[in-house]
Amino acid sequence: MGFSVKTLWTAPELNPYNKKAKSIPVFNPINKYGRVFFFSYLGFFIAFWSWYAFPPLLSHSIKADMHLSQNEVANSNIIALTATLLVRFLAGPMCDHIGPRKTFAALLFMGALPTALAGTAHNATGLYFIRFFVGILGGTFVPCQVWTTGFYDRNVIGTANALVGGWGNSGGGITYFVMPAIYDSLRKEQHLSSHVAWRVSFIVPFILITAVATGLLLLTDDTPTGKWADRAAAVPAPDHHTHNTSVVHTSGGLADKPANTTGSISSSNDEKKRASSPADLESAPGEVQIIDEFQHEVIVKPTPKEALKVMCSLQTLVMCACYFCSFGGELAINSVLGSYYIKNFASLGQTSSGKWAAMFGLLNIITRPLGGFAADFIYKATGHNLWAKKFWIHGMGVTTGMLLIIIGKLDPHNLDEMIGLIAVMAIFLEAGNGANFALVPHIHPHANGILSGLVGASGNLGGIVFAIIFRYQKTNYARTFWIIGIIHIVLNLALSWVRPIPKRQIGGR
């Protein structure tokens, strides 16, 4: 299906087999699918803003107020990422059991309270405690992605996931503009002391988080068919005795609407063999039994044995390793970029350095969606070949690694050069995030919550590992950049040979 501008605001065409949307009504929050899209990115945006509300004020105002050392600042960044790692790991199974919408709202409400209490911290220990519990908000990425995956079909899922993820991630950039602006306003307009102003500023994200979480609960649905308990109702049960199931030529893609949705029958033995062949389910040269395949994509409550199988598969390892690099690198760099600018360009000060650092996160508005959109385009252009999506991910990872090494070795002291290199690197790093979650929905689709949770948590694990490297290198940020670059290249090349989906997987081609 070709792209048409009017699909951005009109009600989407639905896949008749799973009731998922085949286009994204970006500017139509009235439509059921548009509301889910709207609250997916808005909820993650507000969560990311609050999650990263500390770094813009931490490098100067909070550090001075609490008399923190550089190591204590670094420790607080690591602790914030550790909490999110744990929450993302738990959020995946929660999505499979109670649904992503309720999981999303629960995490927002749980993270809102410590945000409001941020001003109660008066020393390093208090800061660690608050940042740990604010870190709950970072876990909202998992239900954000699982929820979108449940509403959008394969032809646009990479774009949909990348858009909500990228626009949500931009909260990490907005916070570098907004938090210093709120702080400066409280100082100048309300004449508050620095000690009081930074504490009061955290009330703003608290109010917004609570409002968005309430709207999300009241105005959206769990699944295209309504309640989470009814999620399987979208896919009709196949009749295996009569083989009276609809089929579609996969050269046109499973995302394309079949000519006859009332029951064309594939009766030849050759066609039946092709339909049941695991190899055909991946390479798609013939016809497949549509309803059977979509039945395998309905999320189930996995048993411990099934969950372990998903966790231990090579495909899961690849997705986790790639996201460990891309999102992990983004988190760690986002935490120190303002300080890096101040170190190399001392005349900028807290507010100006924060504005330049904000560019890194704000690029997510374009870069992460670009990664997902390109993955969907490549997938379609190569005849629905998942290897193409996979190599796109590795290509982004290796290119990012090379650019990180260049920045680390040059350690620019010319502001234009620094800004340019950071921006180019950010394009590939953040596009890699979008590319990653364009492939995730195809792998183990019946356990999308578990897989999304594992991959999302791996991003935080990467953030922790890279933040620890930054900590021990102290203010030698350039050296850490090239170390992270080497890790990017090695991991992506080492795992490039692994098949995109398990050999005998049914569904999620």
SS3 of residue 114 by DSSP: helix
91: nearest Cα among 79, 101, 81: 101
Residues 156, 21: contact at Cβ < 8 Å?
Answer: yes
pTM: 0.79
Strand partners, 249: 287
pLDDT tens digits, the chain, 509 residues: what are they? 456 788 888 999 998 888 999 999 999 989 999 999 999 999 999 999 999 899 888 878 999 999 999 889 889 988 988 889 999 999 999 998 899 999 999 999 999 999 999 999 999 999 999 999 999 999 999 999 999 999 999 889 999 999 999 999 888 888 888 998 999 999 999 999 999 999 999 999 999 999 999 999 999 999 998 888 877 765 655 554 444 443 333 333 333 333 333 333 333 334 334 334 444 434 444 444 554 455 455 566 677 887 888 899 999 999 999 999 999 999 899 888 988 999 999 888 877 888 888 899 889 899 999 999 999 999 999 998 999 999 999 999 999 999 999 999 999 999 999 999 999 999 999 999 999 999 999 998 888 889 999 999 999 999 999 999 998 998 899 999 999 999 999 999 999 999 999 887 765 54
Residue identified by tokens 């999308």 is 448
Residues 88, 141: contact at Cβ < 8 Å?
Answer: yes
Give the CA count within 13 Å in the CB-facing half-sphere of 80. Answer: 31
> Which residues lie closer than 8 Å to 323 by C-beta, 6 or more apart?
433, 436, 455, 456, 458, 459, 462
Task: Please name the amino acid found at residue 86.
Answer: L
Report DSSP state, residue 248.
E
Query: Which ranges constitute the DSSP H helices of 28-69?
Result: 32-51, 55-57, 63-66
CA distance 380 to 384: 5
132: nearest Cα among 53, 76, 203, 176: 76
Residues 144, 165: contact at Cβ < 8 Å?
Answer: yes
pLDDT at residue 482, rounded to an integer = 97
**Pair of tokens at residue 501:** 């989906």
Residue identified by tokens 């049941």 is 276
User: Quick one: which H or E segment has residue 93?
Assistant: helix 70-98
CA distance 373 to 174: 23
What does 270-299 look like in DSSP terms, one character per residue? Answer: HHHHHHH-HHHHHH--SEEEHHHHHHTTS-
55: nearest Cα among 267, 427, 259, 357: 357
Phi, psi (rounded to 5 degrees) for 487: -60, -40
pLDDT at residue 55, rounded to an integer = 84
Report DSSP state, residue 249.
E
> Which residues lie closer than 8 Å to 212 by C-beta, 6 or more apart?
39, 42, 43, 46, 108
> Which residues lie closer than 8 Å to 488 by C-beta, 6 or more apart?
325, 326, 329, 397, 398, 400, 401, 404
CA distance 401 to 446: 33
CATH topology of domain 20-228+304-494: Growth Hormone; Chain: A; (1.20.1250)
pLDDT at residue 352, rounded to an integer = 85
SS3 of residue 221 by DSSP: coil
pLDDT at residue 17, rounded to an integer = 84
pLDDT at residue 454, rounded to an integer = 94
Contacts 24+ apart (CB under 8 A), 181-188: 183/57, 183/61, 184/351
Report DSSP state, residue 152.
B
Phi, psi (rounded to 5 degrees) for 152: -125, 140
172: nearest Cα among 44, 72, 78, 323: 44
CA distance 453 to 248: 32
Residues 78, 468: contact at Cβ < 8 Å?
Answer: yes
pLDDT at residue 443, rounded to an integer = 92
pLDDT at residue 173, rounded to an integer = 83
Q: How many CB atoms lie within 10 A of CB 79?
A: 20
Query: Which ranges constitute the DSSP H helices of 117-233?
Result: 124-134, 141-151, 157-169, 171-188, 194-200, 203-219
Query: How long a stretch of residues is the chain?
Result: 509
CA distance 435 to 103: 24
> Which residues lie closer than 8 Å to 283 by C-beta, 6 or more apart?
385
CA distance 294 to 233: 12
Q: Is 346 exposed, middle or buried (0-12, 13-18, 19+ CB in 10 A)?
A: exposed
CA distance 112 to 184: 23
Phi, psi (rounded to 5 degrees) for 316: -65, -40
Report DSSP state, residue 414.
S
> Which residues lie closer than 8 Å to 470 by C-beta, 6 or more apart?
74, 77, 332, 335, 336, 477, 480
Residue identified by tokens 């001075």 is 64
CA distance 315 to 448: 13
CA distance 12 to 376: 18
pLDDT at residue 494, rounded to an integer = 97
Domain map (residue ranges) of the chain? 20-228+304-494, 236-254+264-295
